Structure 1
Amino acid sequence: MQQLTRFFWFCSGANFSILKRTPTESNKYVGIGATVFFTGVLAALAAGYALFTVFQSIWPAIGFGFLWGLMIFNLDRFIVSSMRKKQNAWAEWKLAIPRLVLAVLLALVISKPLELKMFEREINRKLDEKKIEFIAESKANLAKGFPEIQELEAKIDTLKSEVASAESFRDQLQKEYDAERFGEKTSGTSGIVGLGTNAKKKEQQLDAAQEALNSLRARNQIRIDTIEAQIREFMALRQQEFEKQQPGIENFDGLAARMDALSQLTEESQAMATANIFIMLLFIAIETAPIFVKLISNRGPYDEILELHEDKVILFKGEKWTFAKGESDARVDYFQGTHTFANELRKEQTNRKNKALLDTD
């Protein structure tokens, strides 16, 4: 338990020696440190999932996710540890505003990949719909790129319609022949029962129509088989082009695609939009919690001792500066005094030498 407490003290960026002297502050900094630690863990999970969608490999995702979580942890720890409790509340808030803005930005970055994971099923369904649309568009574009298939299919329809017309003509002759045999009176029959002259003529016409139909069927079937073989060749080429495009469609599940799908889902569903906002607010609350804890907490013994220590450092710095400045001023005065004395001595020596030269002359 003691090790866990010290670990959370470390996460909060607090000074161990001061906390040991102020045991009443221990729980506060344990809570702050735990919040900073778990924020880093959530950041690592979020980054790991986001990078897994990019690399599609677990080990790079784990490595980069760990580094990202460590960076967020260190940044949060710095933000919290750099805050100081002041006597003036407005001064504290003024210093905390930039840190709060940074914490909100970090929360938005952390929350987005986890939102993608929470709404993964809905996003996958939306991506499947998109893939179906892309497949339909791809096939439509490929159909436009191979107009020969439509032309050949139109020829097959023409040949089949010729056969259908011949079958209709044969069926009509069959009806007239049957009516003539059974004595049905129509505009084209005599109304006499039996196989008379008219019945034989109609039978001959029916046989001729049947032979023509059989010949037309055989001839058109050969042409249809040839055209269908050509269609299969073009369809094979079209399938090859579609298979080239299919991997890009199947792999349409990257980070940008998922974020776009989430954006569309939130536009289509008010419930998802509300849930998305609440998740974002939750992470903002988690990320800014350590800062707000420092802001709303009372000024305690830890802050007093820490400020006293910092003030002592400032006073020590002033003393050292004054002492160093005094020594420097003394050295300057000594240098200036000795320099002046040396100049006067040199002048006196020069004057004596000049006077001696004059006396010699």
Structure 2
Amino acid sequence: MNSLKDFFIFCSGADRTILDRVPSDENKYLGIGGTIFFTGVLATLSAGYALYTIFDSYIMAVLFGLVWGLMIFNLDRYIVSSMKSKGGFGDFMVALPRLAMAILLALVISKPLELKIFEKEIDAELIVMEQETFKEQEDRVNARFAGGITAAENELATLQAEVDAKTTARDAAAAAALAEADGSGGSGVRNMGPIYRAKKATAAQAQAELDETLAALQPQIDAKRSEITTLRAEAAAGITSLERGAYGGMAARIDALDRLGSRSDAILMASIFITLLFIAIETAPIFTKLISPRSPYDHLLHEHEHVYAMEAKESITERTNNVKNRLRIHTEVGVHQTTADIAAKKAEIDVALREHRKSLGDLGLGLG
């Protein structure tokens, strides 16, 4: 039990030696440490699920999940332990950047767990999204060939219309000749007379024109049909060659959750409350330290740090003064040494001038 308490106090970032002097604050820091620890556990689970979705490997998910969880744990511990309660409005200003960081971490941690919570609904939505994606890909492939197919079909329709017109004319002429022959049409007299021969000639002319049209246009019609068949086969081959890999990565799942939320108020509200829950968990240690009055631990910690600060200030001041004194000594000694050197040099020069003048005077007397 003591080992577990020591671990949670370590998680809180509290100084154990100071906390031992104020046992009344122990429960407070046990709660803070427990919150930080379990936030790290949730971060590990969240990152593990997210990375399993990406790599599809349990080993990679466990390894990177642990690394991510330890990083979040260490960051949370630092954020909380670096807050020093001094009382007043200054504590809120100090807490603001830490709260912003905690909220960001909560958003990052909560999203993969949201995806896991709504996994069944997301999987169903992914099927719809997958079909939409495949349909879009197929439409893009078909669009590449649609222009050529439409143009070929229009040309084929024009050629076929001309053939159909000739065929219709031939059929009408043949029907008229047949009706004239059996008396069911035309003059209404069953005979093989001149009228029938004229209509028969007209039917023969229509057949000749149809044969001529077919001879001229049938190769073109066959070519257009072959072209259309080829284009459709190429479009089908393009659709078949599309890569239909696994659909359901992290981005796709986030998009699916967003689509579900836009259609279902229940899912949207659940997603929002899950995010708010993680924000509350992540920011709880900070708010605990922020709204709590200064405890004996805070006073002792401030005193402890103040002693070190004063000792450091005293040491710095002493060293600064020592440096200033040494500089002053060196400066004044140097000035004195320079002054003495100048005086000695002047004395040497004076002696040299006197001897020079004396030698000149002795030289003048000798000459006289």
TM-score (norm 2): 0.70
From 342, 349, 355, the counterpart of 1:347: 342
Between Structure 1 and Structure 2, how many residues are aligned? 283
- Bigger shift: 320-329 or 108-117? 320-329
- Matching residue's letter, 2:82: S
Inter-partner Cα distance in structure 2 for 1:306 and 1:73: 23
Contact persistence 2:87–2:293 (CA under 8 A)? no
How far apart, CA to CA, are the structure 1 residues paired with 2:350 and 2:141? 117
| Offset, 1:48 | 1.2
2:24 maps to 1:2 = no
Secondary structure of 2:85's match?
A: coil
Please, which of 296, 301, 306 is the counterpart of residue 306 of structure 1?
A: 301
Q: Identity rate of aligned residues, in percent?
A: 45
Counterpart check, 1:80 vs 2:83: no
Q: Distance in 1 between matches of 2:349 and 2:140?
A: 112
Map 1:205-354 onto structure 2 (within 5 A): 241-248=238-245, 251-354=246-349
Matches within 5 A, 1:1-361: 1-88=1-88, 90-138=89-137, 145=145, 241-248=238-245, 251-361=246-356
Give the whole-Å Cα distance in 1 for the aligned partners of 2:264 and 2:282. Answer: 27
Q: CA deviation at 1:354?
A: 1.1
Distance 1:321 1:142, change over 3 A: closer
Deviations 1:88-143 (CA, angstroms, capped at 9, x unpaired): 2x111111011111111111111111000000000000011122334445556666
1:4–1:348 Cα change, 3 Å: same
Q: Which segments of 5 or more consecutive residues in structure 2 lack a partner in the other structure?
A: 154-227, 357-368
CA distance in 1, matches of 2:7, 2:241: 55
Q: Which structure 1 residue ranges, 5 or more long, are not aligned?
A: 152-230
Aligned-partner Cα distance in 2 for 1:130–1:267: 15
Query: Secondary structure of the equivalent of 1:247?
Result: coil
Deviation at 1:325, TM superposition (A): 2.4
Displacement after TM superposition at 1:265 (Å): 0.3
Give, in angstroms, the shift of residue 319 of structure 1.
1.3
Give 1:259 deviation, angstroms: 0.6
Structure 1: how far apart are the matches of 2:328 and 2:142?
A: 99
- Tell me, what secondary structure is at the counterpart of 2:244? helix
RMSD: 2.8
Distance in 1 of aligned mates of 2:138 and 2:324: 90
Q: Which amino acid aligns with 2:90?
A: A
Q: CA deviation at 1:252?
A: 1.4
Give per-residue Cα distances to partners, 1:290-309, cap 9 Å, x unaligned. 10111122211111110001
SS in 2 for 1:253: coil
